[in-house]
Amino acid sequence: MRKKPCGIKCYLLGLAGIIGATIFLLIMFALDIIQSGPNPILKTISELAHGPYGWLQTLSFVTVAFWLFIFVSRLYSATKRKISSSTGLSFLSIASIGFLLIAIFPGQANGLEQAFQQQMHNSVAGLISASFIIGCSVFAIYFRKDQRWKRYSNFTILTVMLSLVFALMWALIPFEMQLMWLGERLLLMTGFLWVVVISLRLVSLCKKPQEIIVSKYDIK
pLDDT per position as a tens digit, 130-180: 999 999 999 999 999 899 999 999 999 999 999 999 999 887 876 655 667
Give the mean pLDDT of the chain: 82
Give the chain's domain count: 1
Enumerate residues 6+ apart whose C-beta is below 8 A from 17.
67, 68, 71, 195, 196, 198, 199, 202
Domain span holding position 22: 2-218
189 vs 58: CA distance, rounded Å: 18
Q: Which residue has the higher pLDDT, 23 or 182?
A: 23
Question: How many CB atoms sit inside 10 A of residue 97's CB?
Answer: 17
Q: Looking at residue 209, what is its pLDDT?
A: 54
Task: Tell me the chain's radius of gyration from C-alpha atoms.
Answer: 20
pTM for the structure as a whole: 0.83
Question: Residue 95: is its pLDDT beyond 70?
Answer: yes
